[in-house]
Structure 1
Amino acid sequence: MTLVLDGVRVTHGATEVLHGVDLAVARDELLVVLGPSGAGKSTLLRVVAGLQPLAAGRVAIGGRDVTRLRPGRRNVAMVFQTYALFPHLTAADNIAFGLIVRDTPKAEARERAHRAATVVGCAHLLDRRPGQLSGGERQRVALARALVREPDVFLLDEPLSNLDAELRVEMRAELKALHGRVGGMMLHVTHDQVEALVLGDRIAVLRAGRIEQVGTPDEIWRTPATTFVARFVGSPPMNLLPADGPLPGLASTGQVIGVRPAAVRLGADGVAATVERVEVVGEDAHAYLRLGEHPMVARIPAADRPAPGAQVRVAVREADVHVFDAVTGQRV
C-alpha cells in the first residue's frame, strides 16, 4: 500500500499553487510535509482527500488511481487544525458519526468508537460534549474519529498548532506512539520544524508549491539540499556567507558557505568579530556577531557568553562547512 502524487499541479486562476509535485508515502510511513505559510501544504492534503481539483497530474492510493474519485470513495481520514467536532454531539457520537452516516449498525459503531477512543486515550471522555473538553482532549477525539474509519491514509493538517507548548510536546509524543501502534500511511503537514524532526520517518520540505528536499530527519538536518532548507530547518538558522566573505578558503568563487551556529567557535584564533547582542536560552546562549559587513550567529554555552560590544575571534572547521551554489542555492 502506497500513496503516490505524480506531477500534481493546482492552479487558482492564473496563480499556480502546486508546481508538478511528485511525492510518495510508503506503507506504515509517517511523512511530514514541512514549510512556511503559503507553501501549499494544506492544498496538498486537500488534493489527496479529493477536495481540490487538479490542473494536471494524478493521485494513486494502493495502486488505484483515485484522481477523479469523490472524497467518500478514497478511504482517507482527515484531522483538522480546528478539530471540526459537532458541538451538540457527545465525544462518542462525534467519533462514530462517520460510521453512522455510512449505515454501520449503531451497536457496531459504538463498539468501534470505544476501541478507537481507548487507543488514543479518551475513552473516559465519551459522554462529554466538545465544550466540556480541553484542547488536548478535543484533539484526541478528532484523532479517534479518524482512526475509527480504518482509512488507508491519515491526513493531519497542523493538528497540534492550537495547543499550548507543554501540551504540544505531550501530544507530539502520543501521536508518534499512536502511529507505532496502528501503522498506516500518515501525511502530516506543519510549519514547525521541531515537530517535523521529531515526528517524521521522512520529511518533505515544501516551498512556494515546490518540493525542495525529501529525506529522513537526519538527512534534512545534516545535508540540506538547498539554502532554503538550510535556513528553514534550524534555530537559530544556518549562517550563510559568500565564498569571498570573512571566512575565505572554504569554498570557490560563485559559491556560498553554510555554517550551523553550533559549529561556530569563539576563541583566541580566527577572524575578528564584534558581539552585537546575546540571547540566553537556558543553558545555551546565541551570540549575534558582526564580521565586517557580514552577520553571524554562534550558539555557545551560556556560561561562556561574551558581553555585547566585546571583540572576539571566530573560527570554523572545514568539516562543519556546507557549500551551495550562489545562483541556484543547490548543494554542491
Structure 2
Amino acid sequence: MSETGLVLDGVSAAYRDATVLHGVDLTAERGELLVVLGPSGAGKSTVLRVVAGLEPVTAGRVRIAGRDVTDLRPGRRDVSMVFQSYALFPHLTVAENIAFGLEVRDTPRAVARERARAAAESVGCAALLGRRPGQLSGGERQRVALARALVREPDVFLLDEPLSNLDQALRVEMRTELRALHDRIGATMVHVTHDQTEALVIADRIAVLRDGRVEQVGTPDEIWRAPATTFVAGFVGSPAMNLLPATGPVTPTGDAPVLPTGDLLIGFRPEAVVLAPDDGAEAVVDRVEVVGEDAYAYVTLAAGSPVVARVPAARRPGRGSAVRVAVRWADTHVFHAVSGRRYAP
C-alpha cells in the first residue's frame, strides 16, 4: 500500500456556525479498509460528507489518489457513497438502480447494464435485477446499494453506517460479506460505524473520533490492547474497561513497577480481574450477568469504586457475596488522569 487512497490534512468543518471537525488528520492507504468509529455526534458522517464534497471545509485539504479535491464538486471527486438509508429509487428496477450512475454520465446503455450485472453478481444480488426496491428485504436492498457503488469503480468507497438498519443476525452476515468483498476487489474503503464489534471485525485500521477530533488510529489489535486515551479505553470494549485511581485499593498481581506520584489512572479490562485471591481488595457483588459460558460480576470495592470482572459462568459468585479483587499487572494500562492520555514512563 505505497500510494495513499485518501488524505485529510488538518480538515475542519462547521455546521450552522458550530465547528464539527477540528483539524482532522487522517489517511486511508490505497486498498485499505479504514473504519471511522465513534459515538453519535463525534463527526463520523461529517468526515464522509467532507470527502464526498457534500460539506465544505473551513480549513485544511482533502486529497484522493494524489489529487487535491478540496474545491471540486462531488461529481468530479471519483467517490461512491453507500448511505444508511440505501437511497434507492423506488420506481426503478434493481438493474436500473445499479446502472443509474453510469447512464447519467452518458455511458452507453448496453455497457452500463453489463457492468450493473457484473456488480450485482459480485455482491450476490444478480437474481434480483428485475425487481423493485419495495420487493426486497433489508439485506437485499443493502446488496443493491453496494452494487450501485461498485459499478462506478471509484477511487474511494464511502460507507455511512451501511449495516445499522439490519437485524443482528443479518448484520453479522453482511459484515463478513463486506470484508470478503473488500478483499476481492482491493478497493480503498472508508466505513463509518458506532458499532465497536463491527469495527474490530472488518477493519484494517480504526480511527476513533470524539467530538470532531481523532483520539487514536491503529489496527484493531492496537486499539484493543494499547488504547491511547481513557476515552478509547472506555469506548472500545463491552463492558467498558475499568478505570481506577493508581493509588486505589486494587492489588496488582505479578511484577508491578513503582509509579510516580501524581494523578494517574489504572485501566484494566474485566478479563484481567482476579476474584477471590488471598490478598485482594475487599468487595461486594452487586449483580451478575451471564452471557453463555462467561459471566460479568459487577462489584463495589470497600472504598466505593465499581469494578467489572469476567469469570466463568459455572464459577460465578452470588449477588451480595463478599469477594476479594486483584488485577494482573501485565494486563493493565496507565493513563494521566487530567489529560486522559496514555502514561509513558
CA contact (8 A) 2:250 2:281 kept: yes
Between the aligned partners of 1:15 and 1:103, the Cα distance in structure 2 is 40
CA contact (8 A) 1:246 1:294 kept: no
In the alignment, which residue of structure 1 is the partner of 2:285?
A: 275
Pick one of 78, 95, 100 that aligns with 1:97.
100
Q: Which amino acid aligns with 2:298?
A: Y
Pick one of 277, 294, 309 that aligns with 2:320.
309
Number of equivalences: 332
TM-score (norm. length: structure 2): 0.95
In the alignment, which residue of structure 1 is the partner of 2:266?
A: 257
Between the aligned partners of 2:10 and 2:288, the Cα distance in structure 1 is 46
Q: What per-residue deviation string (whole Å, max 9, x for no partner) do you get for residues 184-216 of structure 1?
A: 110000000000000100000000000000000
CA contact (8 A) 1:284 1:299 kept: yes
Q: What per-residue deviation string (whole Å, max 9, x for no partner) do you get for residues 155-182 of structure 1?
A: 0000000000000000000000000001
Partner SS state of residue 316, structure 1? strand
After superposition, where does 1:50-129 map in structure 2 within 5 Å? 50-129=53-132
TM-score (norm. length: structure 1): 0.98
Between the aligned partners of 2:320 and 2:276, the Cα distance in structure 1 is 16
CA contact (8 A) 2:229 2:341 kept: yes
CA contact (8 A) 1:241 1:258 kept: yes
Q: What per-residue deviation string (whole Å, max 9, x for no partner) do you get for residues 101-142 of structure 1?
A: 011111000000000000000000100101100000000000
Q: Which amino acid aligns with 1:171?
A: M
After superposition, where does 1:232-251 map in structure 2 within 5 Å? 232-247=235-250, 251=259
In the alignment, which residue of structure 2 is the partner of 1:190?
A: 193
After superposition, where does 1:199-238 map in structure 2 within 5 Å? 199-238=202-241
TM-aligned CA deviation for residue 12 of structure 1: 2.2
Q: Which amino acid aligns with 2:292?
A: G
Find runs of 4+ consecutive structure 1 residues off by over 6 angstroms.
none
Q: Which amino acid aligns with 1:273?
A: A
Pick one of 26, 39, 42 that aligns with 1:36.
39
Between the aligned partners of 1:246 and 1:121, the Cα distance in structure 2 is 56
Q: What per-residue deviation string (whole Å, max 9, x for no partner) do you get for residues 274-310 of structure 1?
A: 0000011111111000002100000111111111000
In the alignment, which residue of structure 1 is the partner of 2:52?
A: 49
Q: Which amino acid aligns with 1:204?
A: A
TM-aligned CA deviation for residue 16 of structure 1: 1.0
1:298 and 2:342 matched: no
Q: What is the aligned-residue identity percentage? A: 73
Pick one of 316, 319, 341 that aligns with 1:330.
341
Alignment RMSD: 1.0
After superposition, where does 1:148-163 map in structure 2 within 5 Å? 148-163=151-166
Between the aligned partners of 1:183 and 1:130, the Cα distance in structure 2 is 28
Q: Which amino acid aligns with 1:254?
A: D
Runs of 5+ consecutive residues of structure 2 not aligned to the other structure: none
